[in-house]
A and B are shown apart, each in its own frame.
Chain A
């Protein structure tokens, strides 16, 4: 079955540094990967989507890469701020007609002032 793995340990970084989160997938090649942010007591909020034929996607201070050889996506937050502290979830999309996303367990990021 499809599986998404994220580093479940918390990641602490200093304000201003670049945070890099990892998402690895096994057993199936997703048509695309999505990244979501989840704050305590709230639902996940969509950030970025990257398709299998795209190597990199950017949005403001966010960057996502997709390496189909390594079966991995990296999520970068540059010039990180304390407000970026949250749990970040990677989700695997299986393509049109499948109607579900497989989520990873998420990585909790804490940006220290």
Chain B
């Protein structure tokens, strides 16, 4: 039973396309996050949701739009993909601000 699952694991797409990454957690957590890990392995928060409400939006371009249909899901939609969007995107969840559980990551490559 995977606690936090993301799909797809790998995503290769052309510049200008629109793509989505899905995330689901079965831990009953109230908070979910999207993090971006760049080529230097730096993990930076993008968004956090608490009880389906957007709490944190860390100066992410408007091309990135998270959506939380319910507390167990947080999806990330990216419009007009750019080369610089290539990275590994991690979804995570936690109960309040205790330990975070991460998904396995989605490696996005924009060509």
Contact = CB atoms under 8 A, between A and B. Distances in A.
Given A87-B41, A99-B48, A43 B55 contact: no
B100 interface: yes
Contacts of A102: 45
A44 B99 contact: no
B50 to A, nearest CB: 6
A100 B33 contact: yes
Interface in B38-97: 40-45, 48, 50, 55-56, 58, 90, 92, 96-97
B98 A101 contact: no
A28 interface: no
Contact of A49 (B92, B96, B98, B105): B98
Interface stretch (A12-20, A63-71, A74-82, A88-96): A88-96
B100 A46 contact: yes
A95 B43 contact: no
Nearest to B107: A41
Nearest to A103: B43
A12 to B, nearest CB: 18
Name the residue among A49, A89, A95, A101 with the largest chain B CB count within 10 angstroms: A101
Interface string A6-37: 00000000000000000000000000001000
A106 B45 CA distance: 15
B11 to A, nearest CB: 15
Nearest to B54: A99
Contacts of A46: 99-101
Nearest to B42: A105
Contacts of B104: 41-43
B33 to A, nearest CB: 7
Interface of A: 34, 38, 41-46, 49, 87, 89, 91, 93-103, 105-106
